[in-house]
Structure 1
Amino acid sequence: MIKRWIVENDVDSKESYPQIVDAATILQQDEVIAFPTETVYGLGANAKSDRAVEKIFEAKGRPSDNPLIVHISNKTQLEELVADIPSAAAKLIEAYWPGPLTLIFKNKAGVFSSKVTAGLDTVAIRMPDHPVALAIIEASGLPIAAPSANRSGKPSPTTAQHVIDDLEGRIAGVVDGGETGVGVESTVLDCTGEIPVILRPGGVTKEQIEEVVGKVAVDPSLKEGKGAPKSPGMKYTHYAPDAPVYLVDGSREYIQQLVDEKRAEGMKVGVLTTKEYLAYFNADTILSVGERRDLHTVAHHLYDTLRAFNGSDVDIIFSEMFPEKGVGLAIMNRLQKAAGYRVIKP
Structure 2
Amino acid sequence: MHTRLLHNDPQGLATAAAMLRAGGLVAFGTETVYGLGADAGNDTAVAAIYTAKGRPGINPLISHFASADAAFEQVEATPLARRLADRFWPGPLTMVLPRGTHCGISTIATAGLPTAAVRVPAGQTTQALLAACGFPVVAPSANPSGRVSPSDAQHVLAGLDGRIDAVLDCGPCRVGVESTIIDLSRDVPVLLRPGGITLEALEAACGMKLALPAGSNDARPTAPGQLSSHYAPGLPVRLDARSVTPDEALLAFGPPLPGSALVWNLSATGDLHEAAARLFAGLRFLDMEGHRRGLVGIAVQPVPGHGLGRAIRDRLIRAACPRP
Q: TM-score range by the shorter chain?
A: over 0.9
- 1:1-346 equivalent positions in 2, closer than 5 A: 1-7=2-8, 17-82=10-75, 84-109=76-101, 111-222=104-215, 224=216, 226-248=218-240, 252=242, 255-256=243-244, 259=245, 268-274=247-253, 276-278=254-256, 280-291=257-268, 293-309=270-286, 310-313=288-291, 314-340=295-321
Query: What is the Cα deviation at residue 220 of structure 1?
Result: 2.9
Structure 2 counterpart SS, 1:230: coil
Query: What is the Cα deviation at residue 50 of structure 1?
Result: 1.0
Query: What is the Cα deviation at residue 292 of structure 1?
Result: 5.4
Contact 1:67 1:230 in 2 (8 A): yes
**Corresponding letter in the other structure for 2:56:** P
Tell me the percent identity. Answer: 38
Query: What is the Cα deviation at residue 78 of structure 1?
Result: 2.0
Structure 1 counterpart SS, 2:122: coil
Where does structure 2 lack aligned partners over 5 or more consecutive residues? none
Q: Distance in 2 between matches of 1:179 and 1:317?
A: 24
**Corresponding letter in the other structure for 1:63:** P
Pair 144,152 (structure 1): closer, same or farther in 2 beyond 3 Å: same
Say how many residue pairs are matched: 317
1:3-36 Cα distance to aligned partner (Å, 9 max, x none): 111116xxxxxxxx12211111110111100001
Contact 2:33 2:178 in 1 (8 A): yes
Pair 129,234 (structure 1): closer, same or farther in 2 beyond 3 Å: same
Query: What is the Cα deviation at residue 126 of structure 1?
Result: 0.2
| TM-score after normalising by structure 2 | 0.93
Q: Distance in 2 between matches of 1:236 and 1:27?
A: 31
1:149-189 Cα distance to aligned partner (Å, 9 max, x none): 01111111010000011110000000001101000000000
Pair 244,218 (structure 1): closer, same or farther in 2 beyond 3 Å: farther
Query: What is the Cα deviation at residue 236 of structure 1?
Result: 4.3
1:28-62 Cα distance to aligned partner (Å, 9 max, x none): 11110000100000100011111000111111111
Pair 341,170 (structure 1): closer, same or farther in 2 beyond 3 Å: closer
Query: What is the Cα deviation at residue 207 of structure 1?
Result: 0.7
Q: Distance in 1 between matches of 2:266 and 2:214?
A: 26
Contact 1:228 1:235 in 2 (8 A): no
Structure 2 counterpart SS, 1:217: coil
Find the structure with the greater CA-based Rg: 1
Query: What is the Cα deviation at residue 272 of structure 1?
Result: 1.1
**Corresponding letter in the other structure for 1:239:** Y
Show the counterpart of 1:11.
Answer: none
Q: Distance in 2 between matches of 1:31 and 1:321?
A: 41
Structure 1 counterpart SS, 2:109: helix
| TM-score after normalising by structure 1 | 0.88
Contact 2:71 2:119 in 1 (8 A): no
Q: Distance in 2 between matches of 1:199 and 1:269?
A: 32
1:57-94 Cα distance to aligned partner (Å, 9 max, x none): 11111111000000000122123211x21111111000
Show the counterpart of 1:13.
Answer: none
Q: Distance in 1 between matches of 2:232 and 2:29?
A: 21
Q: Distance in 1 between matches of 2:289 and 2:117?
A: 35
Structure 2 counterpart SS, 1:117: coil
Structure 1 counterpart SS, 2:200: helix
Q: Distance in 2 between matches of 1:6 and 1:188?
A: 30
Moved over 6 A (4+): none
Contact 2:191 2:213 in 1 (8 A): no
